[in-house]
Chain A
């Protein structure tokens, strides 16, 4: 019955000239065709379409069938014959129909799909879409760009598989789909390459620009979010493969190297509206950061990279990218940023980075970001890694650079642990200066004194929270102990003896006061707790703590006592080192006085 209707309208149109087709005919054809598909007469419809006599009709009207056709294909099971017929119809339509209308029809299908069907639909329609685009006469570059942009936009909301299991499973088909899209773009890349070979002054830049846009988009999604390390047991890692292909495209159209250096020139596209320009810059910042990661960490396309640049310049170029990545909170991006930073630093020799580099804003900002990662990031291995990288960064600088960096970090980190770490580094540098023959003015004499002014003090005098700052205080005391042991008053290489009065005033005295106050306070608290324990057992919680939405159980009195005792223990520890330092100072001063007398 449905087939009859179709035959009827076909016969009516066979005798008409192309120009005489009316809107009514289009509708009748669509309705009848759709009905054939829905009622399962796909093979009959295929026959009609393949019939040479109907060529003109199909050419004009065929595109109307795309929508019902796609719906049917998804309805049938994989092995169903009818599905096979439908696929053949799709193939035929791609060959026969007017490219312009069919292009819009296909694009509309991709636009309308959503959720779990996106990848399937895209993969189904890529082949016909490519066929049609290759046949298009006008606005080809624009249409290719539109297709790629549409496809990428549809894919972007999908979650990117991250773990090995997720990648292998590829539940939504994203891995497969991405690589299919690259295959789709290939012939257009070849076109650009060919026309570039013909003339060095490539006149039609449009297609090339569209391909660059596609690559930039792919770098941002999925590559920036994807796991790109080699995985054991997966021979062809889909995203690594995809990344290689994207880099190859950029190389083939001769845009790879210019892009690697793009940010540095601060070239912004010519938007009139500042807001658009900012968005554009922000978008491309992510993509370019990913590109750098692929090249310098994963070594994709590094063979194309001219090996003439100095390692410090490469670090400088990459600093912008590292900064972009470290500002993020997602594991995939943070770890990429850290890897990129590490790989740049490993190219350099120790002490080879000139202090003047710290005049670049990034070189001061990035270590501060690094400190944020190591103190605030919830992922442990990233925290550890960022600490290692900070050490690496410190090691690469010359003495003055280290000196400046220490000053900056002491002033900006706001974290006793980090400050303690920096102070330990300062101690190491002083040790190097004192033991090695080479003269190092930055960690002896007046430069050192001004640095010690930042170290040997209590941030808020006697009122400083000693428990909170214990890491910093212990490191400072250790440093001071080292100085008085290592440097005799007669030599005074470090200058510590000259500034001793100040140190006592700013550091040792308030520390004594603070220790006494804190100990008294905590002891009183313990006494209180113990008495209270006898009196009341009623829970009178003043406040509650919740971690990620879950309320923590209130601390029992026992636990509270334990905490208070451990605090007291810390104070004792500080006190004992403090006593040792003061003893050393006294002995040394006395020795000198004895000598003089």
Chain B
């Protein structure tokens, strides 16, 4: 990008004017960021850099949530004062921009920056890029940290559906276990992106709301869209995996396993997956265990993988179920449940032969397993059906192919002869044509 001399000097004039007349918009009142609306200044030329920043790259800039320190402080402060469509100038002292370090190669150390900003549009933030949870922050939170999975949070929430309020309460719970308090999974997920003191509105799609089951307690129908207003009052983070020692991990694993099983029994599979997943994240990569610890760890992991497999079966995510069974069987290759569940998953993925193998292995381990016996006959039946369907399809295809081949052969004969003749004439010189 080029900044021609004319632009530059005009920019300087404007900067000087700003320094004189600009309004101090910093909370600290230290004149670190000065603002003037565009009407107040002569000039039409905009320093290109900034113009690009906003107009040229809507793609690059629009998803920047204010107040999360993605942009320099001056922008966090400055843009928050703007209305849609407004154009303004900002003069920013280094403390509110790139400071003494500068930003190579363009911004030298201790540089005061001058921006022209036009706010084209703003909108709610799509938290998971799938349109399932849209957040609009009403009041920005403090600091930077977010509750993680397993953190204990204290929130105030109000839930709306179709304009009527169905829930309003102050509640303290563990992220990932909101269901215990009739809070949908979307709130758990969104909390992981909120900061202390944040007040926001969340628009939840059905997948992140109460889903197909709805919530009779609140009179909410299946697949309803929900709106929540949430304030995160405080939270205490759960320990990260690397902060825990083996003993602690094993103790927690027992607690978490219980919880997972409870959710599973209630049919809350998504929540159960979170709990069992914790065991895996804690113990799967844990090295240097004593023999006793390693035994305990393996038994937790085995249970976790088996239960995860069951959850994924229920959630109809068969590939993931197979993956979990594989891991379980990696720990215990003759595990009856592991084999059986993998068989089930494979059967549902239409991999009949593989499924049959799994069920047969179940019988090798435990000849008394009646369920496996009946599953084998299901496999055989399905294979048969499948084969017959294939046969019908191929039968048609083959006759068609045969007819077409016959036609082509007839028309080709002439051409082939010519090629043969040519090849003979050329002899071995041109292997390419053969």
Determine whether the beta carbon of A27 is less than 8 Å from that of B242.
Answer: no
B327 to nearest A CB, angstroms?
Answer: 16
**Range, interface on chain A:** 35 or more
Say whether A597 faces chain B, with CB atoms less than 8 Å apart.
no
Give the contacting residue for A359; candidates B54, B70, B105, B146; CB below 8 A.
Answer: B146
Per the bound structure, the CA–CA distance linking A407 and B244 in Å amounts to: 12
Instruction: Using known A-B contacts A306-B57, A307-B106, A354-B144, determine if residue A349 contacts B70 with beta carbons closer than 8 Å.
Output: no
Q: B71 contacts which chain A residues (CB < 8 A)?
A: 308-310, 313
CB-based contact B422/A31 at 8 Å: yes
For B430, give the chain A residue with the smallest CB separation: A34
A34 to B319, CA, bound (A): 56
Q: Are A24 and B144 in contact (CB under 8 A)?
A: no
Q: A34-B430, A349-B99 are in contact. Are A307 and B53 (CB under 8 A)?
A: yes
Cβ contacts A14-49/B at 8 Å (1 or 0 each): 000000001110011011001100100000000000
CA distance A258 to B62 in the complex (A): 11
Query: Is B98 located at the chain interface by the 8 A CB criterion?
Result: yes
Question: Does the CB pair A349–B101 fall under 8 Å?
Answer: yes
A window 401-426: CB within 8 A of B: 407-408, 411-412
A residues in contact with B418, CB < 8 Å: 23-24, 27-28
Chain B residue with the shortest CB-CB distance to A316: B70
| Nearest-Cβ distance from residue A393 to partner chain B, whole angstroms | 14
**Interface contact B430-A266, CB-CB below 8 Å:** no
Interface check A312, CB cutoff 8 A: yes
Residue of A nearest to B63 (CB): A265
A303 CB-CB contact with B under 8 Å: yes
Report the bound CA distance from A31 to B146 in whole Å. 74
Which residues of chain B have a CB within 8 Å of any CB of chain A? 1, 49-50, 52-54, 57, 59-61, 63, 69-73, 75, 98-107, 113, 115, 129, 143-146, 148, 237, 240, 242-243, 319, 414-415, 418-419, 422, 425-426, 429-430, 432
Q: A24, B414: Cβ atoms under 8 Å?
A: yes
- Are B69 and A313 interface neighbours, CB within 8 A? yes
* Minimum C-beta distance from B42 to chain A (A): 25
12 contacts between A and B (CB under 8 A): A23-B414, A27-B422, A254-B57, A258-B59, A261-B63, A267-B129, A302-B106, A306-B54, A307-B107, A308-B72, A310-B71, A346-B101
Query: Chain B residues near A257 (CB, 8 Å)?
Result: 57, 59-60
A303 and B1 within 8 A (CB)? yes
- Nearest Cβ on chain A to B414's Cβ, whole angstroms: 7
Cβ-defined partner of B129 (8 Å) among A22, A265, A349: A265
Once the chains bind, are A38 and B105 in contact (CB under 8 Å)? no
**Docked-complex contact B75 and A411, CB < 8 angstroms:** no
Question: B429 and A38: CB pair below 8 A?
Answer: yes
Instruction: Tell me whether A155 is interfacial, beta carbon within 8 Å.
Output: no
Residues of B within 8 A of A522 (CB): none
* Residues of chain B within 8 A of A304, CB atoms compared: 1, 52
Complex Cα distance, B425 from A28, in Å, reads: 11
- How far in angstroms is the closest Cβ of chain B from A397? 12
CA–CA, A31 to B427, complex, Å? Answer: 11
A271 to chain B, nearest CB (A): 13
**Which B residues touch A311, using CB under 8 A?**
98, 101, 103
C-alpha spacing A309/B52, complex, angstroms = 13
Is A158 close to B, CB under 8 A?
Answer: no
Given contacts A34-B430, A359-B148, contact A299 B103 (CB under 8 A): no
Is the CB of A364 closer than 8 A to any CB of chain B?
A: yes
Asked if A67 is an interface residue, CB under 8 A from chain B, the answer is: yes
Residues of B within 8 A of A313 (CB): 69-71
Question: Which residues of the other chain, B, contact A571 by a CB distance below 8 angstroms?
Answer: none
A349 and B57 contact, CB distance less than 8 A: no
Chain A residue, CB-CB nearest to B2: A303
**What CA separation (Å) do A312 and B70 show in the bound complex?**
8
A258 to B58, CA, bound (A): 9
A41 to chain B, nearest CB (A): 15
Most buried by B among A254, A311, A343, A348: A311
- Chain A: CB-nearest residue to B49: A307
Other contacts beyond A24-B415, A30-B422, A307-B106: 4, CB < 8 A: A27-B415, A274-B319, A308-B61, A349-B100
Q: Which residues of B contact A302 (CB under 8 A)?
A: 105-106
B407 to chain A, nearest CB (A): 16
Measured between beta carbons, the chain A residues less than 8 angstroms from B100 are 349
A28–B103 Cα distance when bound, in Å, is: 69
Q: Are B419 and A27 in contact (CB under 8 A)?
A: yes
Residues from chain B with Cβ under 8 Å of A349 in the complex: 99-101
CB distance from B46 to the nearest CB of A (A): 13
In the assembled complex, which residues on chain A have CB atoms less than 8 Å from the CB atom of B143? 354, 356
Q: Is the CB of B70 within 8 A of A309?
A: yes
Q: Are A359 and B430 in contact (CB under 8 A)?
A: no
Q: How far is the CA of A68 from the CA of B431 in the complex (A)?
A: 11
Does the CB pair A343–B422 fall under 8 Å?
no
A346 touches B104 (CB 8 A): yes
Q: Mark A176-204, 1 if CB is under 8 A from B, else 0.
A: 00000000000000000000000000000
Known: A31-B426, A306-B57, A364-B242. A359 touches B145 (CB 8 A): yes
Is there contact, CB below 8 Å, between B61 and A306?
yes
Taking the complex as formed, is A434 at the interface, i.e. its CB lies under 8 A from any CB of chain B? no
CA distance A257 to B1 in the complex (A): 14
**Contact residues in B for A28 (Cβ distance below 8 Å):** 418, 422
B59 in contact with A309 (CB, 8 Å): no
A residues 247-282 in Cβ contact with B at 8 Å: 254, 257-258, 260-261, 265-267, 274
Q: How far is the CA of A412 from the CA of B288 in the complex (A)?
A: 12
CB-CB < 8 A to A260: which residues of B? 60
Taking a contact as CB atoms under 8 Å apart, the answer to whether A299 and B1 are in contact is: no
